[in-house]
């Protein structure tokens, strides 16, 4: 396991460096700038602002200075939020995104995986068709549509009933304010997990070792839980790696719709305002989480698949 971990880390570090480099130069080459206000700015004031943030330095020098700052844990100042550094904004928004992301992840796994198993065990039956239809509906409806539908139903139409929920805001993490964004965030992942689990379970149930276990007279429940489920979860774990990173860093659309102060919302605002350092900071955190979660997936493979465990130890 440890050689596998070392190899993945050696691959992850240059991958993160490439992501930082590409994003840095793309941000600088994009038309517009952080000081393109609606009202014209006198040239001397604009020059002072650019000098204040070292935007008048050569591009290669800005890049090297930024890398050296990252090595010190400094993401730089925010161009839009003048009284905050990017590190402070991320430290403020990341816990909010993590809370919603963990809740959505747990909810998606607890609902999506059992639905996929139920559909697979009843292949080509009414329950299979119902789960498949619901999954396709959850996949094709985007978050920005589902979010507004939930607000319309629970925040407007049912506002005078006991099931009314806040249409937005965070309210210091009140439970009522979490329900709609968590459900909206988890819904497409429930659909994906149900379909992935269904397809994987059907394939595993047709495998030779499962048929052998059933031929030996083992109860069907034992065959499913002890022999089929572990192998069927491998594609699920593969999907959960990047999906978990995305959920934990917050959905940009969901946080914007429900006015949640997470880093996803900061990313949207930073992109609109050409806040270079804020966009870079959120991108780096998200990329690092994706790399870490893929590493966790590789390690989980060694627990789920004996062949992978043997190859990792070789």
pLDDT digits (tens, 9 = 90+) for 62-101: 999 999 999 999 999 998 888 889 999 999 998 999 899 9
HSE-CB of 4 using CA atoms within 13 angstroms: 17
State whether residue 77 is helix, strand or coil: strand
Q: How far apart (Å, rounded) are the C-alpha atoms in residues 68 and 71?
A: 5
Token pair of 55 as six digits: 């935007």
Q: Which of the four pLDDT bands, split at 50, 70 and 90, describes residue 109?
A: very high
**What length is written for the chain?**
314
Residue 82: per-residue pLDDT: 80
Cα–Cα distance, 187 to 11 (Å, whole number): 33
Tell me which residue of 79, 106, 187 sits closest to 140, measured CA to CA.
187
Lowest mean pLDDT across 36-40, 134-138, 140-144, 287-291: 36-40
Distance in angstroms (rounded) separating the CA atoms of residues 205 and 296: 26
Collapsing DSSP to helix, strand or coil, 85 comes out as strand
Asked if residue 260 lies in contact with residue 254, where contact means CB atoms within 8 angstroms, the answer is: yes
| 232 neighbors 200 (Cβ within 8 angstroms) | yes
The structural domains of the chain, with segments of one domain joined by +, span 86-313
Residue 36 has pLDDT above 80, yes or no: no
Query: Taking a C-beta distance cutoff of 8 angstroms, is the pair 254, 147 a contact?
Result: yes
How confident is the model at residue 189, as a pLDDT? 94
**Which pTM does this prediction carry?**
0.85
Separation CA 237–CA 198 (nearest Å): 14
| Mutual angle of helices 175-205 and 86-121, in 10-degree steps | 40
Q: What is the mean pLDDT of residues 102-108?
A: 94
Cβ atoms of 209 and 169 within 8 Å: the answer is no
Angstrom distances, CA of residue 259 to CA of 81, 151, 255, 266 = 17, 12, 6, 11
CB atoms within 10 A of CB 118: 18
Q: Can you read off the two tokens belonging to residue 17?
A: 């460096």
Specify the CATH class of 86-313 in words.
Answer: mainly alpha
The pLDDT mean for the chain works out to 87
Residue 303: closest CA among 221, 199, 223, 233: 233
| CA proximity to 254, closest of 140, 171, 163, 149 | 149
Q: How confident is the model at residue 310 (pLDDT cuts 50, 70, 90)?
A: very low
**Backbone torsions φ then ψ of 85, nearest 5 degrees:** -90, 165
Count of Cβ atoms closer than 10 Å to residue 34 Cβ: 20
Residue 314, pLDDT > 60, answer no
* pLDDT computed for residue 89 by the predictor: 92
Which pLDDT tens digit goes with each residue over 170-216?
Answer: 888 889 999 999 999 999 999 999 999 999 999 998 888 888 888 88
| Collapsed DSSP state (helix, strand, coil) of residue 275 | coil
Q: pLDDT (tens digit, 9 = 90+) per residue, 118-176?
A: 999 998 999 999 999 999 999 999 888 999 999 999 989 998 888 899 988 888 888 99
């Amino acid at each position: 396991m440890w050689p596998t971990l070392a190899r993945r880390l050696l691959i992850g570090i240059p991958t993160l460096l490439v992501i930082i480099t590409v994003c840095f130069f793309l941000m600088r080459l994009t038309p517009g700038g952080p000081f393109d206000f609606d009202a014209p700015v006198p040239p001397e004031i604009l020059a002072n602002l650019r000098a204040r943030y070292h935007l008048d330095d050569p591009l290669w020098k800005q890049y090297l200075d930024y890398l050296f700052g990252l090595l010190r844990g400094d993401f730089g100042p925010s161009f839009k939020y003048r009284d905050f550094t990017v590190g402070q904004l991320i430290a403020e928004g990341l816990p909010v995104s993590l809370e919603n992301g963990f809740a959505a992840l747990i909810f998606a796994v607890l609902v999506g995986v059992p639905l996929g198993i139920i559909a697979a065990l009843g292949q080509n039956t009414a329950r299979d068709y119902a789960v498949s239809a619901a999954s396709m509906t959850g996949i094709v409806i985007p978050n920005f549509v589902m979010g507004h539908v939930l607000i319309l139903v629970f925040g407007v139409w049912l506002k005078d009933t006991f099931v009314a929920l806040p249409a937005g805001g965070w309210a210091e993490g009140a439970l009522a304010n979490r329900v709609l964004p968590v459900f909206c965030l988890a819904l497409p992942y429930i659909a994906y997990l149900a379909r992935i689990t269904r397809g994987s379970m059907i394939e595993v149930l047709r495998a030779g070792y499962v048929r052998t276990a059933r031929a030996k007279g083992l109860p069907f429940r034992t065959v499913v839980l002890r022999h089929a489920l572990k192998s069927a979860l491998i594609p699920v774990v593969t999907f959960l790696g990047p999906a978990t990173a995305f959920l934990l860093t917050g959905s940009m659309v969901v946080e914007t719709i429900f006015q949640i102060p997470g880093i996803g919302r900061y990313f949207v605002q930073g992109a609109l305002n050409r806040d270079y350092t804020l966009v870079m900071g959120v991108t780096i955190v998200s990329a690092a989480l994706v790399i870490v979660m893929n590493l966790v997936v590789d390690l989980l493979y060694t627990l789920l698949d004996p062949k992978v465990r043997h190859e990792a130890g070789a």
